[in-house]
Amino acid sequence: MNNDMYIDTHCHLNFPDFDGDRDEVVKEAERQGVAGVVNIGTGIETSRESIEISNRYGIVYPTAGIHPTDVENLAFSDMKLIENLAKNEKVRGIGETGLDFYYGRSFEEKQKDFFSAHIEIAGKLNLPLVIHQRESRDEVIDIIEKGVMPEKVVFHCFGGDAELAEYCRKKGFYISFTGIITFKKADDVKEVCRKYPLELIMAETDAPFLAPVPYRGKRNDPSKVRYVVEAIANVKGMGIKECAERIFLNSREFFNLGSTLDT
């Protein structure tokens, strides 16, 4: 494998933040050793856009899904559109989906219904499931326990919840870290990372959000995923090259990128 190869397993290149320089952002990612970028759908239109962007850039792979905070004004029948989009040959996952009660619980049941529908579609199409969880650990676990989960599941942007981490470990779920792991006060996130099996860890930017140190507060982009990988290596007390290779292989296998990436 070439030196310093990375996969950004979660970003949003279709967001307006990149409208002015999307081509250059993708080129810079490639220059920095990024061999693959998973661009995450957060709604019907963004899932369509994600597929369109993947057709423009060889290293980009889309997912299809509806973010839990975006289900409020949608009809449950809209999930059929997500299922249809997910049948596109380039789509590599379902999500991001899950539960988010950070802003309140005014449409909690609707979030749960949509989350369950995503789980069902992921299983039906044999695609990985990308889970977003915020202020909703127990409810997410409850739905997972009631459902039939697809073979591959990742909790993206994993925080410092040791109880959820232990649950994920027992279930064999992947967890993915963002630039938060580079933050000075992220001791709880680092502790989760330290204890979690490396073979179940991936790295992401969640760009344009959560830029790692030394870019904190600026627009994030896929080229900066290397800082997340380096932080994971440091937390685990291992060599960066060894850590980067393992995370690259994890990510490639999880999203079924296979021989589409040069190694």
**Segment 130-182, tens digit of pLDDT:** 999 999 999 999 999 999 999 999 999 999 999 999 999 999 999 999 999 99
* H or E element in which residue 94 lies: strand 94-100
DSSP β-bridge partners for residue 140: none
Tokens encoding 146: 């009631």
186 domain-assigned = yes
Q: Specify the number of domains making up the chain.
A: 1
pLDDT-derived band at 263 (thresholds 50, 70, 90) equals: very low
32 domain-assigned = yes
What CA–CA distance (Å, rounded) separates 38 from 225?
A: 12
- pTM > 0.95: yes or no: yes
What torsion do the CA atoms of 168, 173, 174, 179 make, to the nearest 10 degrees?
-30
Which whole-number Å values give the CA distances from 125 to 77, 119, 122, 153, 261, in the listed order? Answer: 18, 10, 5, 14, 22
Share of the chain above pLDDT 90, in %: 96
70 domain-assigned = yes
DSSP β-bridge partners for residue 94: 64, 129
* H or E element in which residue 108 lies: helix 108-125
Whichever domain contains 82, its CATH number is: 3.20.20.140
DSSP string for residues in 170-196: HHT-EEEE-GGGGSTT-HHHHHHHHHS
193 domain-assigned = yes
Sorted by sequence, the CB contacts under 8 Å of residue 146 that are 6+ apart come out as 116
The range of the structural domain enclosing residue 13 comes to: 6-260
> What is the mean predicted confidence (pLDDT) over 210-238?
98
What confidence score (pLDDT) does residue 261 get?
67
1 domain-assigned = no
Residue type, 43: G
Nearest in space to 172 (alpha carbons), one of 206, 146, 133, 201: 201
206 domain-assigned = yes
What CA–CA distance (Å, rounded) separates 260 from 263?
A: 9
